Amino acid sequence: MNVKYITPAVTAFTSDFHVDMEANRQIYDHLIAGGMDGILILGSIGEFFAIPQEEKKRMIREALAYVDHRVTVYVGTGGTVFEECAELSRYALEQGADGVMVIPPYYFNLPDSAVLDFYDTLAGRIEGPLLLYNFPARTGYDLKPQVVLELARRRKNIVGIKDTVDVMGHTRALIQTVKKEFPDF
C-alpha cells in the first residue's frame, strides 16, 4: 500500500498576536525531520480564522519558500467571504502550494445544492488542485459521499478531501463511493 503522512501544522504567534515565522519554521523542520510527507498550513488547528488576509499571504509566501518542496505543502484557504477565499486560493497556488484545502461556508446550515455551487464555482476560479474539507462539527453539515462524487465529476481539479469526522463509516463510504470512479481521489 502506498501511504503518505500529511499533518496539519499549528500556527505559532508572537506575544502581540502576529504570525511568528521563525517559530513556524522550527515547527516545519520538526515535522519534516519526524518523517511527515506533507504539511497543511492554515487549517483549523492553524487558526486560519484568526489571521488577517495579508498576514496569511505573508505566511504562505514565507512558508512555501522555506519548505522549498522538501515535502508536499497544502494551504487552507477557506473563509467566510467567497472572493477572499478564491483570491487566497489563487495566491497560494501561484506561490507554489501543492494544493489548497477549503472548508465550505460555515455558520449557516446549507443545503447540498449550495455546497455544490460553492465548490463548483471556486474550482472554476482557480488553476490547481483543490481538496474539500469536511468538518461537520464546525460547519453544521456533512459533505455526503454523493455530493463529493458529484463535485469530482464536475471539476477535475477537485482531487481529494480532508474528512474530519468522528466515525470511520463516513470515510469508508467516501472511499467506496468516490474511488470506484476516481481511483486517484
Active site residue 44: yes
Q: Which of 4, 15, 107, 113 is catalytic?
A: 107
Select which of 74, 119, 141, 162 is catalytic: 162
Output the CA torsion sign for 160, 72, 89, 50.
Answer: positive
Q: Which of 28, 44, 74, 91 is catalytic?
A: 44
Copy the grid coordinates of residue 82: 467567497
User: Catalytic residue at 15?
Assistant: no
Contact (CB, 8 A) for 37 and 71: yes
Phi then psi for 99, rounded to 5 degrees?
175, 165
Q: Known catalytic residue: 162?
A: yes
Residue of 74, 91, 119, 133 marked catalytic = 133
Active site (annotated) includes residue 180: no
Enumerate residues 6+ apart whose C-beta is below 8 A from 92.
60, 64, 75, 77, 100
Active site residues: 44, 107, 133, 162
